[in-house]
Amino acid sequence: MKIAVVAPSCTLHPEAAAAVEAIAARRGGVELAIHPQCFASDGHFAGPDIQRLAALREMMADQSVDAVWFARGGYGSNRIAEAAARDLPEAARSKRYLGYSDAGFLLAAFDRAGLGVAHGPMAQDVLRNGGEAAITRALDWLVDSAQAALEPGLKPGARAMAFNLTVLSSLVGTAIEPDLTGAELIIEDIAEHEYRIDRAMFHVTGSAAVRRCASIRMGRMSEIPANDPVFGSDAEAIVRDWCARSNIAFGGLADVGHDAANKVVPFDLAQD
């Protein structure tokens, strides 16, 4: 089992790479190939677009690679997502792809292209409090398809999709907008003010494409900055309100978020 790690947005911290390699070595039965591009740096990004795209495409086309694991979030995968999903080599179709947060741009583009994507922990999550559990969960899913790694509310055979709310908002109306028809949509976010959560919920639930989803469940909305004045509502009430306004069923809470407890959401559980 060979897992390639690439960084389509920001640079992977070397100590995170070392820690994840140590966990994989202790586990055994898995070869972790951390692409040198993960440590490249060009302003905000882990190398220029062309370098990030080339590393990703190289691993997608490599027949010896069983899974492509996104190193971390940040910002930037949207800049290469459409190109990464174009003219796919056959070898790209037999792999799993795992990530979340900014990597949601790639999840959306790759899911549209028929690839097997999942929303879940990334390599740099090892640096979080309790991060080893997140890495173990990711490997359990990638290597063993462990059911215990899955978000517990997923329904076998039903389509589910999970996104960072702000990333989903940035996908609405683009060429890589996800096809949410009939899917359970799970959203999460981090470090966004309540007024921004409210605005993003206005936006995504106002989209005809999003309204085709079966329901919305809310993952964790963490590290919400203070609102001045006090907003007058909290994240769950905001999500419930916009679901009600747009006639989308609210399905309750989901066990995903920017933390070590973040569970795995394969976009098409029936195919796994």
Q: Which is nearer to its own copies, 66 or 177 (CB)?
A: 177
Q: In this structure, how many other beta carbons lie within 10 angstroms of the beta carbon of residue 50?
A: 11
Q: Which is nearer to its own copies, 147 or 174 (CB)?
A: 174
Task: Give the nearest distance from C-beta 75 to its own copies in angstroms.
Answer: 4
Q: Which is nearer to its own copies, 37 or 136 (CB)?
A: 37
Q: In 3D, which of 182, 176, 10, 171 has the Cα closest to residue 99?
A: 10
Q: Tell me how far apart the alpha carbons of residues 102 and 159 are, in angstroms, rounded to a whole number.
A: 21
Task: Give the nearest distance from C-beta 74 to its own copies in angstroms.
Answer: 8
Task: Give the nearest distance from C-beta 39 to its own copies in angstroms.
Answer: 14
Q: Which is nearer to its own copies, 42 or 58 (CB)?
A: 42
Task: Give the nearest distance from C-beta 200 to its own copies in angstroms.
Answer: 7
Q: Tell me how far apart the alpha carbons of residues 267 and 143 are, in angstroms, rounded to a whole number.
A: 17
Task: Give the nearest distance from C-beta 58 to its own copies in angstroms.
Answer: 23
Q: Tell me how far apart the alpha carbons of residues 189 and 204 are, in angstroms, rounded to a whole number.
A: 14
Q: Tell me how far apart the alpha carbons of residues 158 and 182 are, in angstroms, rounded to a whole number.
A: 9
Task: State whether residue 105 is helix, strand or coil.
Answer: helix
Q: Which is nearer to its own copies, 215 or 233 (CB)?
A: 233
Q: Tell me how far apart the alpha carbons of residues 222 and 258 are, in angstroms, rounded to a whole number.
A: 7
Residues at the interface with its own copies (CB under 8 A): 41-45, 75-76, 78-79, 169-177, 194-195, 198-200, 202-203, 206-209, 227, 229-233
Give the start-end residues of each E strand in the chain.
2-6, 31-34, 67-70, 96-99, 116-119, 160-164, 184-190, 215-222, 249-253, 265-266
Task: Give CA 251 to chain center in angstroms.
Answer: 20
Task: Give the nearest distance from C-beta 178 to its own copies in angstroms.
Answer: 12
Q: In this structure, how many other beta carbons lie within 10 angstroms of the beta carbon of residue 233?
A: 15
Say which residues have a Cβ less than 8 Å from residue 86's Cβ, sequence separation at least 6: none
Q: Which is nearer to its own copies, 177 or 179 (CB)?
A: 177
Q: Which is nearer to its own copies, 25 or 244 (CB)?
A: 244
Cis peptide before 225 (omega within 30 of 0): no
Task: Give the nearest distance from C-beta 231 to its own copies in angstroms.
Answer: 5
